[in-house]
Structure 1
Amino acid sequence: MGLSADDRRARILEVVRDLGTIRVVDLASRIGLSAVTVRRDVAALSDSGLLHRSHGSVSSVAAGQAAASIPGRERTIGMLVPTLGSYFDEVIAGARAAAAQAGARLVLGVAAYESADDRAQTEQLLDSKVDGLLLSPNWRPDTSEDDCWIRDLPVPTVLVERRAGIGDAAAELDSVSSDHRHGVLLALRHLASLGHRSVLLAARDDTWTAQQVRAGYADAVLQLGLAPQPVIGIRRYGVDPDELAGQIYDAAAEGVRAVLVHNDQDAIQLPPPLRARGLDVPKDIALISYDDVFAALAAPALTAVAPPKRAVGEAALNLLLRRLDSGSSAIPVHHLELLPSLKVRASCGGEERAASPREESPTGKRQR
């Protein structure tokens, strides 16, 4: 006959008080119960104030209070990103500035897009004795990696520019991301206001952001009543600008004269091969890029969707510090979405202007 709930929870309290802090999966193994049962019991004990629960670990009340009460203790935050340079440089800069303001230290790890090193790099950060983690894992649609290890990490964790789907293993983690679907809507709405009734999308499909951009395109086309077009796929290692220009030329022959390209690096290469085919930007083709890292440096300067990259890093760091300071279960899980803005420049043929507060909200934030 199995243990009663009271017996199970008494045993959990006994083990946690002896060890101080233990991962939930290790606790379940030590007691000989399923992880699901132990998580449920730990949640009940935490709600009763008998335990401190963190993402993937649990500690005694005394141990949790002692750690929180050390005066002047410097927090060390580990941050895992998929690349250095371009987009994530600004995300890192935001997190770094927020950490400096709070007297915390940021430790960086990199797991490249084409690698499968998320877990190994995260474990290396944990070996640095970090107090919490900011993670941007390489979630790709062509993999079925088990993300339970993210849920069971022994320190509080915030997903950055990532958001787990409903029912996913990491869905109960805090997250801060740009609302890329809204960003695509801004781009297509602007093009529609210039009279375009159909817009091409050229985008990758192997990153979380690219998937959000593609989904946003489908939503925006439907919402704005535009004629949908097949998405032009961009390979992981970059576009062949001449090939992409040829596909745009073919679409232009059918009357499509507006293009959204994810991302800047690919969009900035397009005007010369388009011009070689007799298509001028913006006279013949309206072009918008996504990311706004290099867009203003193009010739002509590209209208671009600008996710609030720096603000995402800052908000993620501050949310993690709040989680550390208040205890894992003292505040509800936050899923924050910050709204991108649209920077209108010469490549659409419209007058360059600042973002309209009605259309774009750089500091806009959704909490779900």
Structure 2
Amino acid sequence: MTITAEERRARILEVVRELGTVRVIDLADRIGTAAVTVRRDVAALADAGRLRRSHGAVSLPHDNSAPGPEGRDRVIGMLVPTVGSYFDEIIDGARTAAVAAGARLVLGISTYESADDRAQVDQLLDAGLDGLLLTPNWRPGAETVETGWMRELPVPAVLVERPAPPDSAAAELDSVGSDHRHGVLLALRHLQALGHESVALAARLDSWTAGQVRAGYEDGVRLLGLDPRPVIDIHRPGIETEQLATQITEAVGQGVRAFLVHNDQEAIQLTPLLRARGLRAPDDLALISYDDVFAALASPPLTAVSPPKRAVGAGAVELMLRRIEHGTELPVHHVQLLPELMVRTSCGGAAD
């Protein structure tokens, strides 16, 4: 027999009165209802002031055994599409901020090939989260992606490095990320100041950031009055670098002497291949990498656009803790942090 939401919530309150403090997952087992449904009911009861949530457990509001609304003892889930390179620094920034606030960070990984962020999120929620930092697997052109389920999460969510499409349900969620379009503009402006009237972009196709870099290139070329060039597509990152080197060599033959490459992996693999073709940076061409994870270790050291990766992670945790404490009283925040240009030797400039 199907019971109503009101009956479920009455049963939840009955169990909590009986047991005092109980984990949400145990509560779901006790009343024989799916955990995701119980989490939504608990969220509704907490919003009404009838329950208190903390550290994956619920209690009655007058139970002083549960921790208060400050950061201490909060559990924050973090779902990222990969570990290694770029996201390592974001995770490190988030972990440092969480430790400083007395909170605990729980990590989940949903690979770039995964089509189901929601399943990964549900698994994270079973850890008893107070909030979720979410980097969805959106690709370039993801304006039509389904985001309604993000608004139905039983805990607050902050999007990390993924600005939501403005007409989507996710646009009403907090977000913290890098302004990649501004980062591309920094690179183009620097190359223009060095005397280049045409800059070519070589960019990947497999991530949201790649889409932002491409859009930033189109905007920047127009704003600065540079000669537009067709984007050199990197279809198989790290595999087709020989083909990329050939395309860049051909562009040099057409008079282009400045290149922005997304990302470090491609740029670092590219330089010895170009050298074998008689092209050296910075003597024969100017080269800027995007990401600045390993760019300083290249030979020559690569000038690179450096998104504020650790600051993004830290800012997401700090915003999450404020959201948990203040709830809907805190206005929705869309925070974009500006990248920096790290000038090294690969585009004719010396490190400062």
Q: TM-score range by the shorter chain?
A: 0.7 to 0.9
Give the match for residue 330 of structure 1. 329
| Aligned counterparts of 2:127 and 2:224: Cα–Cα separation in 1 | 50
Verify the 8 A CA contact 2:94 2:316 in the aligned structure 1: yes
Measured against aligned partners, the alpha-carbon deviations of 1:8-46 in whole angstroms (never above 9, x if no partner) come to xxx999997886799xxxxxxxxxxxxxxxxxxxxxxxx
Verify the 8 A CA contact 1:16 1:59 in the aligned structure 2: no
Report SS of the residue matched to 1:270: helix
Match for 1:259: what amino acid?
A: F
Give the match for residue 185 of structure 1. 185
Please say which of residues 170-179 and 237-246 is displaced more in the overlay.
237-246
* Deviation at residue 207 of structure 1 after TM alignment: 1.3
Write the mapping of 1:51-62 to structure 2, written as runs, cut at 5 A: 59-62=47-50
How has the CA–CA distance of structure 1 residues 308 and 69 changed in structure 2, closer, same or farther, with 3 Å as cutoff?
farther
**Residue identity (%):** 62
1:70 to 48, 66, 76: 66
How has the CA–CA distance of structure 1 residues 61 and 16 changed in structure 2, closer, same or farther, with 3 Å as cutoff?
farther
Match for 1:309: what amino acid?
A: K
Verify the 8 A CA contact 1:134 1:158 in the aligned structure 2: yes
Give the match for residue 298 of structure 2. 298
Please say which of residues 235-244 and 110-119 is displaced more in the overlay.
235-244
Measured against aligned partners, the alpha-carbon deviations of 1:129-170 in whole angstroms (never above 9, x if no partner) come to 111100111001466542211121110000001110111121
Measured against aligned partners, the alpha-carbon deviations of 1:291-322 in whole angstroms (never above 9, x if no partner) come to 00000000000000000000000000010000
Report SS of the residue matched to 1:269: helix
Report SS of the residue matched to 2:51: helix
Write the mapping of 1:61-210 to structure 2, written as runs, cut at 5 A: 61-63=49-51, 70-71=66-67, 74-141=73-140, 145-210=145-210
Give the match for residue 342 of structure 1. 341
Report SS of the residue matched to 2:169: coil
Write the mapping of 1:7-18 to structure 2, written as runs, cut at 5 A: none
Give the match for residue 312 of structure 2. 312
Match for 1:59: what amino acid?
A: D
| Aligned counterparts of 1:131 and 1:102: Cα–Cα separation in 2 | 14
Report SS of the residue matched to 1:175: strand
Match for 2:230: what amino acid?
A: P
* Deviation at residue 71 of structure 1 after TM alignment: 3.4
How has the CA–CA distance of structure 1 residues 66 and 135 changed in structure 2, closer, same or farther, with 3 Å as cutoff?
farther
Give the match for residue 265 of structure 1. 265
Verify the 8 A CA contact 1:77 1:106 in the aligned structure 2: yes
Give unmatched runs, 5+ long, in structure 2.
Answer: 17-23, 25-40, 53-60
| Aligned counterparts of 2:84 and 2:282: Cα–Cα separation in 1 | 29
Paired residues in the alignment total: 312
How has the CA–CA distance of structure 1 residues 61 and 222 changed in structure 2, closer, same or farther, with 3 Å as cutoff?
same
| Aligned counterparts of 1:245 and 1:347: Cα–Cα separation in 2 | 16
| Aligned counterparts of 2:124 and 2:5: Cα–Cα separation in 1 | 28
Verify the 8 A CA contact 2:288 2:303 in the aligned structure 1: yes
Question: Cα RMSD (Å) of the superposition?
Answer: 2.7
What TM-score, normalized by structure 2, do the two folds share?
Answer: 0.82
* Deviation at residue 108 of structure 1 after TM alignment: 0.4
Give the match for residue 37 of structure 2. none
Please say which of residues 143-152 and 293-302 is displaced more in the overlay.
143-152
Verify the 8 A CA contact 2:42 2:51 in the aligned structure 1: no
| Aligned counterparts of 1:257 and 1:283: Cα–Cα separation in 2 | 10
1:288 lines up with 2:288 in the alignment: yes
| Aligned counterparts of 2:213 and 2:140: Cα–Cα separation in 1 | 14
Match for 2:254: what amino acid?
A: E
Measured against aligned partners, the alpha-carbon deviations of 1:65-117 in whole angstroms (never above 9, x if no partner) come to 66999336611111000111000000000000010011111000000111213
How has the CA–CA distance of structure 1 residues 153 and 68 changed in structure 2, closer, same or farther, with 3 Å as cutoff?
farther
Report SS of the residue matched to 1:61: coil
* Deviation at residue 244 of structure 1 after TM alignment: 0.7
Give the match for residue 30 of structure 1. none
How has the CA–CA distance of structure 1 residues 298 and 198 changed in structure 2, closer, same or farther, with 3 Å as cutoff?
same
* Deviation at residue 257 of structure 1 after TM alignment: 0.3
Give the match for residue 362 of structure 1. none
Verify the 8 A CA contact 1:57 1:153 in the aligned structure 2: no
What TM-score, normalized by structure 1, do the two folds share?
Answer: 0.79
Give the match for residue 32 of structure 1. none
| Aligned counterparts of 2:293 and 2:151: Cα–Cα separation in 1 | 32
Measured against aligned partners, the alpha-carbon deviations of 1:168-195 in whole angstroms (never above 9, x if no partner) come to 1211010000000000000000000000
Verify the 8 A CA contact 2:291 2:304 in the aligned structure 1: yes
| Aligned counterparts of 2:200 and 2:225: Cα–Cα separation in 1 | 14
1:243 lines up with 2:243 in the alignment: yes
How has the CA–CA distance of structure 1 residues 147 and 232 changed in structure 2, closer, same or farther, with 3 Å as cutoff?
same
| Aligned counterparts of 1:236 and 1:243: Cα–Cα separation in 2 | 10
Verify the 8 A CA contact 2:141 2:211 in the aligned structure 1: no
